[in-house]
Structure 1
Amino acid sequence: MIKRITIDKLRPKMYVSDLNCDWIPHHNMPKEGRVPNQALIEELKRRGIKEVYIDTERGIDEEDALSQKEVESENQNKLNKAAKGYMDPAGSVSVEEELFKANKLHDKAKGIMSDVLTDVKFGRPLETEAFDDLADGMIDSVMRNHNALACLGRIRQKDNYLMEHSINLAVLMGIFAKSMKIDRETMHQTMVGALLHDIGKIMIPDDILHKPGKLDNNEFARIKQHVVFSRELLKKTPGIHPLTVDVAAQHHERIDGSGYPEGLTGCQICREGKMVAITDVYDAITADRCYHKGLAPTAALKKLLEWSGSHLEESLVHKFIRSMGIYPVGSLVMMESERLAVVIEASEKDQSRPIVKIIYHSRLKQFIPAQVIDLSKATSQDSIKNSVDPDKWRIKVSDFLS
C-alpha cells in the first residue's frame, strides 16, 4: 500500500515511492528507493521536504499515516473548498473571437522570445521595448477573454520548453493578477518579469539543462545559478522596473525558506514573488519534460494544495485556483454520459460546470463529432464525473483547443 507520511516519521529500511518534491525544480534526488540510513533522512529535512510517500509492501510500514486513496480524497475536498465562490467574468468577447487575435499574439511572443534568447547567448544587450509591447498585448487579450491564451498555453512542444514556459508563465500571471484585481501597471511589470524570469538559463550548459537523468551536486548547484544570472542581467538592463527584477529573482523562493537562491521566508518575499512561485510550479508540473511526465491540470492544482502552507502561500494558492477553475482550460474530463470532453472555457457561475467540447465515447472507444456544451445552462443534461489522463486514452488534447 502507498501511504503519505511526514518526514519526521521516515525511518531507515522504509521504501520511498515518491519524494513529493516537484516544487523543487530540477532537484537532484532520486524519486524513489529504500532509505539506507538516518543521514539521508537528515539531508531530506535540510532540503525542506516535509512529506513523502512510502510503499509498505517494499519496506517498513507506518500505521499512523493516510493511504494514497485517503490523500486523494482529502485533496479533492480541499480543491472543492478552494474553488467556492463565483469566478470573475472571462471577458467581453467569446473565446472563439479572441482566439484569432491570441494566436497572432502567441506567435509574436515566440518570435520575440526566440530572438532575445539568441541575443543573450551571444552577449548582445536586452531590448526591453519589445517586451513592454508584448506584455501590453497580453494584458489586453487576458482582459478581453483570458481563456484564449490559456488554450494556447496547453499546446506544447518538448523541444521548446524554455520559450513556451516563459510565455505560459506570463499568461498565467496575467490571469492570476486579473482575478486579484491588481492594477494594470503592476500587472504589466509582473508579466514582463514572468517572460524574462528564466533568461539566465541561457548561461547554463545544455548538457546540464536538458539532462534526462539525476543531476549530481555540482550540476544542481549550476542549475540554481540561473536565477542569479537572470537577476543580475535584468538589474543592469536600462528600463527594467525593480518589480520585474523581483519576480525573476524570487520565482524559486519558498515561504518556509527552502527555496533559492537566497532562502527567503514569508514576508521577505513580495506578493508577486509568491504568486510567480505558484504559477511557475503549476506550469512546470503540467509540462512533459525529458525527466518527468506532466500532470493533468486538475491533478496539478491538487498538488499545489498539498504543498501550500509549507512551501507555497496557501491563501494565494486558493486565489490562483479560483482564477483557473477546478477544471482548467485544456483538462480532459469524463462525463456522466461516458463521453470524454476537453474543457475550453470556465464557467462564471459554477466551477464544476464549465464549457466543454465533447470529442470521444469511452464505451464505444471511438471519436465522435465534436460538440460544444455549456454545462452551466439549465438545458444541459450532462455533467463531469472526474478529470482523466489524456495518455490513458491516447488523446492529444491540444488538437482540440486551437
Structure 2
Amino acid sequence: MEELDKQLALRMITLFSGAVKGIAFYPESHPAIRRPLLELDRLFGTALAQAGEITWGVIDGVMFFGKHLFITPSTAVADLTNRMMEKEIDRIVMGSGLTFDELQGFVRLLADTSAGFDELCARMKQKEIRHILVARPTLPEDRDAEDGEEGYALATYGQALGAIRGVCRDIEQGRIPSSAPVIGVVDRLVGITMRDPSTLLGLAMIKDYDNYTFNHCVNVGVLAMSLGAAFGMDAEGVKEAGIAGQLHDIGKTMIPKEIVNKPGKLSSAEFHEMKRHSELGAKIIREMEGLSPRVGQAVLGHHLHYNRNGYPEWARGFDYDRMIDIIAIADTYDAITTLRVYQHPITPRAALGVMQKLMGTILDGDLVTRFVEMMGKYPVGTLVRLDNNEIALVHRPNPLDEEAPVVRIVFAPDGARLPQPREQRLVERDGSSYARIAAVVDPLLKNIDVGSLINRGHY
C-alpha cells in the first residue's frame, strides 16, 4: 500500500474543509462547491484505489491524515479540527467504493452545526452513506475501569490542548473565537471530575515547556475543576470553573510575545503591559458566544488576590464570588510547580507549603486548606523514595492513609530504571505494608520528567 504524500494529504484536507465551510452558503451546484468536491472525489478515488481505506481525524487536538500529523495547522486544517471536535468525531474512515453522492452528502451533514455525533450517524444511515464511517473517542465504560478512565482522561486532556490552541490562534488572527470546542471538552472533563477528581490531578503535572501557555491554561482548568468538586460545587459550577481556568490567560495572546516570553524580570513598563492580560481576556470572553458572565468575571479577577489588593486596580470594588479565588489557587499551584527559564520548579508537596504562607492575603485560606486536603500529604505526581530504596511516583491518594498512597515504582532498589513503571499499593487491603515513604525526591536530580511519564500513560 502506497502512503499518501503529505502535501497531497494537506490538499485533500484543505479541499474538504473548504467544501464543508462553503456548502452552508452555496448550493451544491455552485462552482465554489462543485469544483472542490469534484477534485476531492478524484483524489479520494485515486488514493482509495491504492490504499483501500483512508483514516484521518484528530488526536490530542492535532489533525492526522494517514501517518501524517499537522502540528502547525493552516486555517483550513484548524477549522476542520475544531468542527470535528465540536461533533466529538475522533476519526473518519473512507472506504473503497466511495461515491461522489456519498462524499457530497457527508460534507452537507458535517456542515450542519446543529447536529451532534449521534444525529450525524443517524442521518448518514438514513442517506445510505455506507463507505464513510465516523468514530468518537472510546468512553470509559467501554474500557477496563481504571486503565480506561486514565486513557480517556489523557485523550480528553489532549483535546483540551487543541481547543485552547484554536482559541489563541483565532485571537491572533483577529477572529472572535468559538467557545464550542472549549465547552465540549470541559463537558467531558466534568464527567471525569465528578466520578473521580484524582484521575485528573496527575494530568496537571504534564508540562510542555515549549508550549507553556497552552499547558498552563489546561492545567489551571483541570485543577480548578477538581477543587470546585472537592469544595462541593454542582456539575454546572465545576463546568464554569473549568472553562474559566482554561481561558484565564487568553488575554496574553494580545500582549507582545517578547514580554510574555521574556526570560528575566519584567521592567516596570513591561509589567504594566502584562497586567492588562486579565482585562483583555475578559473582553474577549464577552465577545464569545455561550459563556456565562461568571466566567468573564473570574478571568478579569484572577489576579485580584484574596485581599483584593491585586490587579486590575479599577476592578477591585466589584462583587466577586469564590470562582476567582479558585482560579487563583489553581494558577498559583501550576505556576510554581513548572520549570521556566527564570524559575526552578518546586515539588508538589513544597508548593502546598508555599501556598499556605499566602493564606489570608494572596489566597483564600479556606480554599487553600481544602486544596491541601484534596492533594494529600503526597500529591499525585510527587516523586518519592521508599524505605526499601525504590523510587516511585505517587499515582493516587489513599483516603484511608495519607502516608500510604498508591504509587508506581520507577527505580529498583539498586538504582536501575524499570523499563515500565510498576503499580504498587504501599498498604495492601489486608493491612500488610509493602513499604513506607522515606523522603520526597526532586525529579530533576533523577533526570525524570514527571509530565512525560504521565503523558505516555505510565504514571
Shorter-chain TM-score bucket reads 0.7 to 0.9
Task: Tell me what 1:351 maps to.
Answer: 402
- Point out the structure with max Rg over C-alpha: 2
Which sections of structure 2, spanning at least 5 residues, go unmatched? 1-139
SS in 1 for 2:220: helix
Kindly report which structure 2 residues correspond to 1:208-357, keeping only aligned pairs within 5 A, or say none: 208-262=259-313, 268-357=319-408
Select the structure with the greater relative contact order (CA < 8 A; seq sep ≥ 6).
1
* Matches of 2:231 and 2:189, distance apart in 1: 17
Structure 2 CA distance for partners of 1:263 and 1:313, relative to 1, 3 Å: farther
SS at structure 2 position matched to 1:307: coil
Q: Deviations over 1:15-63 (max 9, x none)?
A: xxxxxxxxxxxxxxxxxxxxxxxxxxxxxxxxxxxxxxxxxxxxxxxxx
**In the alignment, is residue 204 of structure 1 matched against residue 255 of structure 2?**
yes
Residue aligning to 2:245: 194
Q: CA deviation at 1:264?
A: 6.6
Tell me how large the CA RMSD over aligned residues is: 2.2
In the alignment, the residues of structure 2 paired with residue 312 and residue 269 of structure 1 have an alpha-carbon distance, to the nearest angstrom, of 14
Aligned to 2:432: 379
Find the aligned partners of 2:422 and 2:316 in 1 and give their Cα distance: 48
Q: Distance in 1 between matches of 2:320 and 2:438?
A: 39
2:214 to 150, 163, 167: 163
Name the SS of the counterpart of 2:177 in structure 1. coil
User: Contact (CA 8 Å) 2:427, 2:434: kept in 1 or not?
Assistant: no
Q: Which residue of 2 is the match for residue 84 of structure 1?
A: none
Residue identity in the other structure for 1:258: N
- Structure 1: unaligned runs, 5 residues or longer: 1-90
Structure-to-structure mapping, 1:116-127, within 5 angstroms = 116-127=167-178
Deviation sequence 1:141-175 (CA, Å, 0-9, x none): 22233333322321221111111111111111111
1:392 aligns with 2:434: no
> Distance in 2 between the 1:225 and 1:267 partners?
17
Aligned counterpart for 1:154 among listed residues 196, 205, 219: 205
- Tell me the distance in 1 between the aligned counterparts of 2:252 and 2:145: 37
Question: What is the CA-CA distance between 1:365 and the residue it aligns to?
Answer: 3.1
How many correspondences in the alignment?
A: 311
The percent of aligned pairs where both chains have the same amino acid is 30
**Which of residues 181, 186, 190 in structure 1 aligns to 2:232?**
181
Give distance in 1, aligned partners of 2:348 and 2:297.
27
Deviations 1:265-313 (A, max 9, x none): 7995421111111111001111111221211111111100111122211
SS at match of 2:422: strand
Please point out which of 393, 410, 417 is paired with 1:367.
417
> Are the structure 2 counterparts of residues 99 and 321 from structure 1 closer, same or farther at C-alpha, using a change threshold of 3 Å?
same
Q: How many Å separate the matches in 2 of 1:269 and 1:336?
A: 47
Is contact 1:255–1:266 with CA below 8 Å preserved after alignment?
Answer: no
Question: In structure 2, what is the equivalent of residue 63 of structure 1?
Answer: none
Check the 8 A contact 1:329/1:345 in 2, yes or no: yes
Q: What is the one-letter code of the residue matched to 2:393?
A: V
Q: Which secondary structure does the structure 2 equivalent of 1:322 belong to?
A: helix
Deviation at 1:185, TM superposition (A): 1.2
CA–CA distance in structure 1, aligned partners of residues 452 and 438 of structure 2: 22
- Counterpart amino acid of residue 131 in structure 1: V
Residues 391 and 409, structure 2, Cα contact 8 Å, conserved in 1 = yes
Greater displacement, 299-308 / 92-101: 92-101
